[in-house]
Chains A and B, each alone.
Chain A
Amino acid sequence: MSDLVSLPATTRTRGPLPRALLVGLFIVGLQLVIALMTLVWTPYDPSALAGQRLEAPSLIHLAGTDRLGRDLFTLIMIGARIALTVGCGAILIGGLIGVTIGLAAAFAARTLDDVFAAGLDILIAFPTLLIAMLIVASSDGASLWTATLAIGVANSAIVARLTRILGKRVLALDYITAARISGSSWLSIVFRHVLPNIWPTLMVNLALQFGLAVIAEASLSYLGLGTPPPNASWGRLLQEAQATVQTAPLGAIAPGLALVALVIGINLLADGLRDLSDPARRSA
């Protein structure tokens, strides 16, 4: 009978990397290089007045100047650093707290799980702004870190809820029961079966959260709860350009484009990684 059944003709040959992954890697990589570069070099001093107010783009000022006369391109480069820091920090904090709570809820007994679920719903209803104000109030004042922490904590509720649902779904499958019957411990079930199986969906969600975190930081900065000047984040640049958007639209367009590019890049990267982690897609 053995030859009636077919198997993949050859052993797995790794197909080409998903295109999404390559494009995402390129965009995010470029922004990362720029962000790292600002640590040692920027075209102009970000807090110095480098030219006239609201200059048009030229070879000297690639993106023109802002309403104070600072070099906009320099500010956007520094913005990349802030955006990446906030985004990575927030999804790291949100992911760590969220996945832990979510898995605990998924494994917990039903009554405890109800408590978790209700608690998470309350936390989700709680605006990021309030959480940020609480954190700022209990620390030395607003900084990049308080903003990141606040956004991360706010994100964690959403991550936890998603993890809980995904985890519960995987836990109900036969291979988990089979693993339990063969005597594997909860911990090994979490790390071998549950996390790898929920990771692809979780990762795409975290990538979305990354974009939202960058935007949330902008809103917090606007209210004085985010990155303080002179470290202009993209959000702050957008808000500062608000007043002059009709006369000098580039002030809003340039940081906006940088933000959009980063968010798209991160999402492509996550999509590509998901495809890579799915054996069915990879061999197709």
Chain B
Amino acid sequence: MSALVLDIDRLSITSGARRLVEEISLRVAPGERVGLIGESGSGKSLTALASVGLLAEGLVPSGSIRLGGHQVVGAADSALAKLRGEVAAMVFQEPLTALDPLMPIGRQLAEVVRRHARRNRHSMDRRSVERAVLDLVRQVSLPHPDRLVRSFPHEISGGQRQRVAIAMALACEPQLLIADEPTTALDVTTQAEILTLLRDLVTARNMALLFISHDLPVVAGIAERVIVMRQGAIVEEGTVSQVFAKPAHAYTKSLMAAARSFDDALEIPR
């Protein structure tokens, strides 16, 4: 099955003698939306970084990761650089550090647009870059695009910054978008907006999505299939309705119970 966007086969990640991720296998088909759930430290983000070959130094992956059909484990950085923007792009948790504070937003977007054009060997003049940037800004529903492109990151809100980050990821026109807790740092209303935006964009472009979160309802709202991780291993996998209707693993059950009791606590007692 070479058609898979991401095919992780028995991936382990070790740091010295410690095993952080243990023999996990995970597949994402084109256009599929997969949720990766687990508490912090369960290895979700490591798995995501490993799949684009950006593990921190000292973390050693073994097994196989095929990104767009190319092996990532053990590949040279130069080969990966080509693969990255083309096949996968990533949105991070912290909107504060996702953008370069010294560069106007338009310039940051333009850079990605130009790089993507260069890679596909068609040159773009300044005008068409500008147009493409404004178009991206519009697609992520940011207000006043022509004014926004001249703003610096500190001048816009966290939710807006996250939208810019999404626009930057989209500029690469990747087959797979990896979103690592993209809504965790945002308030609930903004969260819902970003989720809707992500789902709509991904669906419209037939892009695959690997959505990482510790938040069950959030994942249920965006993913078709979920994978539950705990302590570096996959404990449960299935469609959203399967897993949420009938959690098989004790850990998933406890996660659900926790989410439910949190909801109950929020209800106003009569």
- 21 example contacts (A-B, Cβ-Cβ < 8 A) are as follows A1-B141, A2-B144, A3-B143, A8-B151, A174-B92, A174-B94, A175-B100, A178-B98, A181-B52, A181-B54, A181-B84, A181-B85, A181-B88, A182-B169, A183-B119, A184-B111, A185-B81, A192-B100, A196-B102, A277-B102, A283-B155
Q: Is the CB of A178 within 8 A of B90?
A: yes
User: For the side of the interface on B, what is the size category?
Assistant: 35 or more
B193 contacts the other chain (Cβ, under 8 Å)?
yes
Q: Is the CB of A2 within 8 A of B141?
A: yes
Q: In chain B, residues 81-119, which have Cβ atoms closer than 8 Å to a Cβ of chain A?
A: 81-82, 84-86, 88-90, 92-94, 97-104, 108, 111-112, 115-116, 119
A97 to B156, CA, bound (A): 38
Q: In chain B, residues 129-169, which have Cβ atoms closer than 8 Å to a Cβ of chain A?
A: 141-144, 147-148, 150-152, 154-157, 159-160, 165, 168-169
Q: In chain A, residues 161-200, which have Cβ atoms closer than 8 Å to a Cβ of chain B?
A: 173-175, 177-178, 180-185, 192-193, 196-197
A5 contacts the other chain (Cβ, under 8 Å)?
yes
Against A, the Cβ 8 Å flags (1 = close, 0 = not) of B226-268 are 0000000000000000000000000000000000000000000
Q: Which residues of A contact B (CB under 8 A)?
A: 1-3, 5, 7-8, 11-12, 109-110, 173-175, 177-178, 180-185, 192-193, 196-197, 277-280, 283
A193 to B108, CA, bound (A): 10
Closest partner residue, chain B, to A108 (CB atom): B57
Q: Is the CB of A7 within 8 A of B147?
A: yes
A197 to B101, CA, bound (A): 8
Given contacts A5-B160, A175-B98, A279-B154, contact A182 B85 (CB under 8 A): yes
Given contacts A177-B92, A182-B112, contact A193 B100 (CB under 8 A): yes
Q: Is the CB of B155 within 8 A of A109?
A: no
B172 contacts the other chain (Cβ, under 8 Å)?
yes
Inter-chain pairs besides A109-B57, A182-B85, A182-B115, 14 sampled, C-beta below 8 Å: A11-B147, A11-B150, A174-B92, A175-B98, A177-B54, A178-B169, A180-B54, A181-B52, A182-B116, A182-B172, A184-B111, A192-B111, A196-B100, A280-B154
Chain B residue contacts of A174, Cβ below 8 A? 92-94, 97-98
**Which of B100, B144, B168 has a CB less than 8 Å from the CB of A197?**
B100
Against A, the Cβ 8 Å flags (1 = close, 0 = not) of B161-201 are 00001001101100000000000000000000100000000
Chain A residue contacts of B147, Cβ below 8 A? 7-8, 11
Q: Which residues of B contact A (CB under 8 A)?
A: 49, 52, 54, 57-58, 81-82, 84-86, 88-90, 92-94, 97-104, 108, 111-112, 115-116, 119, 141-144, 147-148, 150-152, 154-157, 159-160, 165, 168-169, 171-172, 193
Closest partner residue, chain B, to A277 (CB atom): B102
**Smallest CB separation, B44 vs chain A (Å):** 16
Q: Is the CB of B85 within 8 A of A183?
A: yes
Closest partner residue, chain A, to B160 (CB atom): A5
A3 to B141, CA, bound (A): 11
Chain A residue contacts of B57, Cβ below 8 A? 109-110
Chain B residue contacts of A277, Cβ below 8 A? 102
**Smallest CB separation, B157 vs chain A (Å):** 6
Chain B residue contacts of A185, Cβ below 8 A? 81
Chain B residue contacts of A12, Cβ below 8 A? 150
**Smallest CB separation, A129 vs chain B (Å):** 38
Given contacts A196-B102, A283-B155, contact A183 B82 (CB under 8 A): yes
A278 to B102, CA, bound (A): 7
Q: Is the CB of A181 within 8 A of B89?
A: yes
Q: Is the CB of B101 within 8 A of A181?
A: no
Q: Is the CB of B101 within 8 A of A279?
A: yes
A110 to B159, CA, bound (A): 36
The 3 closest A-B pairs by CB, nearest first: A183-B85, A2-B143, A279-B152
Chain B residue contacts of A183, Cβ below 8 A? 81-82, 84-86, 115, 119, 172
Given contacts A181-B85, A183-B82, A197-B100, contact A7 B151 (CB under 8 A): yes
Chain A residue contacts of B52, Cβ below 8 A? 181
Given contacts A178-B90, A181-B89, A183-B81, contact A7 B154 (CB under 8 A): no
A5 to B160, CA, bound (A): 9
**Smallest CB separation, A165 vs chain B (Å):** 17
**Smallest CB separation, A119 vs chain B (Å):** 19
Closest partner residue, chain B, to A182 (CB atom): B85
Chain A residue contacts of B98, Cβ below 8 A? 174-175, 178
